[in-house]
Structure formats: C-alpha cells, structure tokens
Amino acid sequence: MSEGFVSRAFRGRRRNPELEGRLPPGQYATPDFPVLSAGPTPRTPLDRWDFSLMGEVDGARRWSWQEFGALPSETVTRDIHCVTKWSKFDTTWRGVSVDTLLAGVETAADHVVAFCDGGYTTNLPLEDVTDGKAWIAYEYEGEALAPEHGGPARLLVPHLYFWKSAKWVRGLELVSEDRPGFWETLGYHNYGDPFQEQRYQGD
C-alpha cells in the first residue's frame, strides 16, 4: 500500500561516502559503542571462570582466570562492524591470540563453536580464528572489558560481523561438522563477512 513511500526530510543515520573502502557496504561509522544483548548479562565470579578447549582435540584444555592472564597477550587495533549497521573504527583490545591457545593442539576439526555464559553460541571456520585473526579479549581501550561488552572475556574476530565476536565466551569446541549458532539458526548468515554484506542467509 505504501510501497515506495519516503519520509520527507528523514535522513536516517548519516552515510559516510568519504569512508568508502574502509566502511563495509550498508554500514555507518559511529563513535559510540552500542550494546546489543540476546539475554541478561551473566555474572561469573573470576574464581569460577575458566576457558576450555574441547571437542575434537587430542586432549581437552582448561585455563583458570589466573592461568589465562599469565598467557602471552597481544594488543590489537581493529575496526569492528555490527550487522545492525554501525561500524566503529580503531578499537583497541588486549587478549590472548587463539593461535596461542591452539598451539600444540592436534585436531581434525575444521570448524569451531564458541560457547558462552548465558547459553550463547556462534560458529566459525577454524581457519577464521587462526593465523592472527582472532583473540580472546579481556581488555578494551586499556581497561578491563566491561560486562555489558562481554567481560570478563569475549571472542574477538573483527573481520566478521560482530555477533561472531561472542560475549562472555567460556570456550571453543572444535568440531568436524559445522554447527550453526544462536543467530545463525535464526536467519543470520553462516559466515558473516561484512565486506560481502553477508548479513542474512541467502546473501
């Protein structure tokens, strides 16, 4: 009935044509850090927090918060892109590279499922979390990662839409058969490359 209707003088979020190339299609740049949560913020005390590698590995591995903090860390600055269309440039994180966690692990798996407090999951090809492409981040802009942004620790996979960077992450399960996660089973793209605009299944 109202196909083709345009709201007079409504501009919506400002587009940033000057950022073409750096800004994926359909995104706008924001200085804010919006919070999107699929559930209540979990509160796991650090003395009960651990991080696990499980599934198809030659032996499950587990780090306490203290052990995790003793692992070598990296500081990285990356752009992040949320499927709800905001992008944020030059965000700085500190955390442990997934390569560090997987060092010495024998596996035949080619997918991982990140699992989290609160029940959230997301799936990724193993090759997208290795070779310096993913971290378990526990600091944001020099401060302990705030609970609303996924603290104590979240997965950081900045080259994919940000729902893949699972908040409140507690481990990675290595699997040989891909297993779509929380949003991937609800119509969102299984891979989620922002530069290919892979927002939804079928994109």
Interacting residue ranges for another protein, rule: CB under 8 A: 1-2, 5-13, 15, 32, 35-41, 43, 83-84, 118-119, 147-148, 163, 183, 185-188, 199-202
Going by DSSP bridges, is the β-strand pair 86-97/111-116 parallel, antiparallel, or unpaired? Answer: unpaired
CB of 118 to another protein, least distance (A): 8
CB of 21 to another protein, least distance (A): 19
Going by DSSP bridges, is the β-strand pair 169-175/50-55 parallel, antiparallel, or unpaired? Answer: parallel
CB of 16 to another protein, least distance (A): 13
Nearer to another protein, 128 or 184 (CB): 184
Contact 93, 140 (CB under 8 A): yes
Nearer to another protein, 17 or 72 (CB): 17
CA distance 92 to 79: 9
CA distance 125 to 109: 9
CB of 146 to another protein, least distance (A): 8
Nearer to another protein, 66 or 201 (CB): 201
Rg (CA), the chain: 18
Nearer to another protein, 16 or 100 (CB): 16
